[in-house]
Amino acid sequence: MSSPTGPSFEVPDGLQSLLQDFTVSVLRRRPTNLVHFAAAYFRRLDLVNSAVEGDAVAVLTVPAREDSGAETDDDLDIAAAAAAAAAEAGKVPPWRANRRPSVAAPSFDPEKSEATYQRKIVPKSDEQRRRLTETVKHILLFRSLDRVSLSHVIDAMQELSVKAGDMIIEQDQEGDNFYVIERGIFEAYVTDSVSGERRLGVTYNHSGSFGELALMYYCPRAATVIAKTDGVLWSLDLDTFQQKVLMSAFKNRKKYEAFLAAVSLLSELTHYERQNVADALKEREYDDGEPILFQGDPGNEMFFVEEGSVKVMRRHSDNGLETQVNHLEKGAYFGELSLITKQPRAASCYSVGRTRVCVLHVSDFERLLGPCLEVMRRNIDSYRSQLREIFGDATSAAAAPLRVEASV
C-alpha cells in the first residue's frame, strides 16, 4: 500500500512486544557481538514457540560467548553446549514436589508488573545472610541492582541443601525459580524429543547460576539440571526475579537512554546505537573532592557526567602542583583521550559536590562509539591547544600522536 507522499507500511501484530522482549534480553546479557546474539535469540524463540505448539522440543543451539571467562549463568548457556539430551530419572527432593504443569503465557511486561508485586521475606540468620551476600557478588544478573533492590533480592532468597542425584530443574517443565550456586557441582543436560539422546551441556563447579530464561519468557525449561555432588543452592522466586532483577534492568535502560539523548557527542549515533551504549554503561557515584581518575594512570574507561560536575586538573612537571584546565557539567564526557591515543591519562579528574557518572569500558568503546571518534579527535586537538597555552610545551602524553582504530 502506498500514498502520494511515499510508501506506507502496516506494523504487524506482535512486533512491538517482540522487540521489547529482545531489548530487555540484550540489556540483561550485554552481548559483545549483537548480531550473533540476535541470531541465537530469535532461533531460540522460534524453537521455543515450536515446542509450545507441539512441533519440536524447546532446545537451543547457540554460539558460545565471545567474552572468554564470562559467567555461564542461564538456560541459554546450558542449551548452547548441546542440541539434545534425556535427563536420567532422578530422585525428586521434597522442595521440588508439586511443581506446576508447564504453561505458555505472555512474557514479562515490566511496566505492568509493579502494581501487583508483593515483597517476599525469608528469615535468615546473620551467618546465612553473610554467606549469601558473598555468593551473589559474582552473579552477572545482579550487578545492575542498586543497594535497596539487592537487599530485597537477598531477603527473598531461600537456602536449599541438595544431595547428589537431586534433580533441580527438569526440561519442559514450567520455571518457577532462579538458582544461585553457593557450593556443589551441577550438570545440565538437554534432551532430543525425537531420538531421546541425552547430552551434557554445562557443568557448574561451585559457582554460577541458572534458570532465568524460563522466568523471563514463561517458556518451558530448556534443560535438566542435576546435582552431581552434595551442595547448597539459593533460590529466588519468579515474582521477585521479575520485579527486582528485570525491572532494575528495564529502568536503568530507560534512564540511560534519556540521559544519552542529551549528550551532544552521541548525536553522531542512531537511536539504536545509543541504546547499545546505554546497555553497556555502569553507574558510579563520588563524594565531593573524590578522585575519579589520576594523571599518568593507564586508561581503560570513558566517563559521562550524569549528575554533578567534574574538575579536570593538570599536574606541572617541575613542581608537582596541579592547575585546573577544565570544568565539566552534566552531559559532558571525559577519559576518552587515553582510549584513543593508547597513552596514560593526561590529567586528573575530581568530583565537585556529589557526582554521578556513567562509565563505558574500553572493551565497548570502539565497538559502540566508532561513529563518534572523529568528533572526539577534533575535541582532543582543541584540548591539546589549551594545554600548550597553559604549560607552554607539548611534551606531555597528551601530545602523543593519535592512533584512531575505529571498529564500526
Q: Using an 8 Å Cβ cutoff, are 223 and 81 in contact?
A: no
Q: Is 274 annotated as a binding residue?
A: no
Q: Is 170 annotated as a binding residue?
A: no
3-state SS record for the chain: CEECCEECCCCCCCHHHHHHHHHHHHHHHCCCCHHHHHHHHHHHHHHHHHHHCCCCCCCCCCCCCCCCCCCCCCHHHHHHCCCCCCCCCCCCCHHHCCCCCCCCCCCCCHHHHHHHCCCCCCCCCHHHHHHHHHHHCCCHHHCCCCHHHHHHHHHHCEEEEECCCCEEECCCCCCCEEEEEEECEEEEEEECCCCCCEEEEEEEECCCEECHHHHHHCCCCCCEEEECCCEEEEEEEHHHHHHHHHHHHHHHHHHHHHHHCCCHHHHHCCHHHHHHHHHHCEEEEECCCCEEECCCCCCCEEEEEEEEEEEEEEECCCCCCEEEEEEECCCCEECHHHHHHCCCCCCEEEEEEEEEEEEEEHHHHHHHHHHHHHHHHHHHHHHHHHHHHHHCCCCCHHHCCCCCCCCC
Q: Is 88 annotated as a binding residue?
A: no
User: Which CA distances in Å does 397 have to 314, 321, 384?
Assistant: 12, 17, 10
Position of cell 553497556?
Answer: 280
Q: Is 212 annotated as a binding residue?
A: yes
Residues in the chain: 408
Q: Which residue positions form the known binding site for 3',5'-cyclic AMP? A: 212, 221, 336, 345
Q: Which residue positions form the known binding site? A: 212, 221, 336, 345
